[in-house]
Amino acid sequence: MTRLYDTRKRVLVTGGAGFIGSHLIDRLLGMGNEVLCVDNLFTGTKRNIEHLHGEPRFEFMRHDVTFPLYVEVDEIYNLACPASPVHYQHDPVQTTKASVHGAINMLGLAKRLGCKIFQASTSEVYGDPVMHPQTEEYWGNVNPIGPRSCYDEGKRCAETLFFDYRREHEVNIKVARIFNTYGPRMHHADGRVVSNFIVQALGGEDITLFGTGDQTRSFCYVDDLVEGILRLMETESTITGPVNLGNPGEYTIRELAEKVVRLTGSSSGIVYRDLPEDDPKQRCPDITMAREIMAWEPGVTVDEGLNRTVTYFQNLLSEMTLVSA
């Protein structure tokens, strides 16, 4: 659909007040677009977008994507869904609705407008993988009735909907499977390892590892991820994904904890707790497809990214201390 008079793209970002969404909005505005940020603020926060107050090309709308949305836009980025276990297990039914109903509503909007739509899927669709590293062809090993299923299966169903809308209605879709991402604007209490470890280390608390600490993850800095998302959106319409976006560098959780202690100069010790149910033992992306079709790969080293993230949390925790004083 071509809008009259204004030649700038108007872009909708659902979940735009979240960690990744707010960084994506910064880039989209920097490219000269108008951006409509939609978020119900369940896990997103106005703090992440407060620097955009007064920006004439930015608009915020408080809305839950499980309900239909009637707006006029040229592109859609669908990122709306709690993404950390602490948050998505808080209300598992609503988490599933956010993925499934949210996908239906945003795909319906894209169909009506004839516009391109991006889906933020997740490496969680691979479950506790028996293939390592994970390629896009791998169908996964997911428990459909476990405590993480609301997120894992919700995102898997959302992918199904995206490809069915593509086949049935020729909607121009782009699907990325996002692996562990970190950086400034992470929620300080989201339960993910990077934020957990940094907050514990800065507070002089023992760092909590679940299981033996030998399980592995890959960690992608948020700026690299956003670049991958934007490059995927710019590919030709025949390229739909799913495409893995993540850093193929693999670390054990213990190695990450040791890095955080070293970078913060903390005296924190390490304590061990039982591994949560269905927690994957390995998680690492094969990004061959992203390299080939988008010439994309991460450029920020883990040490560099962690240093930036530590600085963010130092400032955040100082502000929180002043407010509570």
The CA distances from residue 81 to 53, 62, 208, in Å, are: 24, 14, 26
Q: What is the Cα–Cα distance from 174 to 235, expressed in whole angstroms?
A: 9
Residues marked active site are found at 151
Q: Is 123 helix (H, G, I), strand (E, B) or coil?
A: helix
Residue 100 CA to residue 96 CA, distance in Å, equals: 6
* DSSP conformation class of 141: B
204: left (phi over 0), alpha (psi -120 to 50) or beta: left
Structure-token pair, residue 209? 């590892």
Contact 32, 72 (CB under 8 A): no
| Alpha-carbon gap, residue 83 to 69, rounded angstroms | 22
